[in-house]
Amino acid sequence: MSKNPWKTLSRNLIYKNPWIEVQEHEVVNPSGNSGIYGVVNFQNLAVGIVPIDEEGFTYLVGQYRYPLNHYSWEIIEGGSPLGQSLLEGAKRELKEETGLEAQEWHFLADLHTSNSVTNEHATLFVALGLTHGKPQPDETEMLRIQRIKLEEVFAMAHRGEITDAMSLVALHRLESCWDSNQQQMKTLPQRLPIWQEKYPL
């Protein structure tokens, strides 16, 4: 592991709400010059889920993303409170957004969503053995659910029709380890010990 070339002189809280906090750090940068660095800390860990049914279909969520002023099709995503099991958070988000529950869960990937400005960590899962129920979205969510063949979702990602970072990482990783003929995982991604220790499933 490389030595940290940055030196932090102070941290000042600029803004905080139930979801994020914004800090301004006084720093000495790798060139030895003084400066400031803005950091966004998230109050939750991010989770993303790709549910796949017995016929090889998955479910995408469509919603208007306020910061982008743009409509987005994505995998199921949400936040898992700090201190809660990531898997439990993923199960809750899957049920809330789609009404689905899954009997079988597999780790898919870890990622940092935008590591130049935020410490947000995301963990992605595949969910199999689905049963259907009634969605219970948050009041801030006006969602459309689309059931679509997994191979078509891969194609949507390749065509640039899906731009959400967590969705793209999940679909790229899944495409490399999903057996379309057998409709099952042909390999199971392994999680690095550093992330398992820091963010246990």
At 179 the pLDDT is: 86
Full-model pTM: 0.92
Burial class (CB in 10 A: 0-12, 13-18, 19+), 44: middle
Cβ-contact 8, 27 below 8 angstroms: yes
pLDDT in tens, the chain (201 residues): 578 999 999 999 999 999 999 999 999 999 999 999 999 999 999 999 999 999 999 999 999 999 999 999 999 999 999 888 999 999 999 999 999 999 999 999 999 999 999 999 999 999 999 999 988 777 766 889 999 999 999 999 999 999 999 999 999 999 999 988 877 888 889 999 989 988 999
Check residue 1 and give its pLDDT.
Answer: 58
- 44-186 under CATH 3.40.50.300, yes or no: no
- Give DSSP secondary structure letters for the chain: -PPP--EEEEEEEEEE-SSEEEEEEEEE-TTS-EEEEEEEEESEEEEEEEEB-TTSEEEEEEEEEGGGTEEEEE-EEEEEETTS-HHHHHHHHHHHHH--EEEEEEEEEEEES-TTTB--EEEEEEEEEEE-------TT---EEEEEEHHHHHHHHHTT----HHHHHHHHHHHHHEETTTTEESS-PPPPHHHHHHS--
Domain-wise residue ranges, the chain: 7-42, 44-186
User: So what's the pLDDT on residue 2?
Assistant: 79
139 burial type by CB count under 10 A (0-12 exposed, 13-18 middle, 19+ buried): exposed
Question: In this predicted structure, what is the pLDDT of residue 187?
Answer: 87
Q: How many CB atoms lie within 10 A of CB 189?
A: 16
Per the CB < 8 A criterion, the answer to whether 137 and 117 are in contact is no
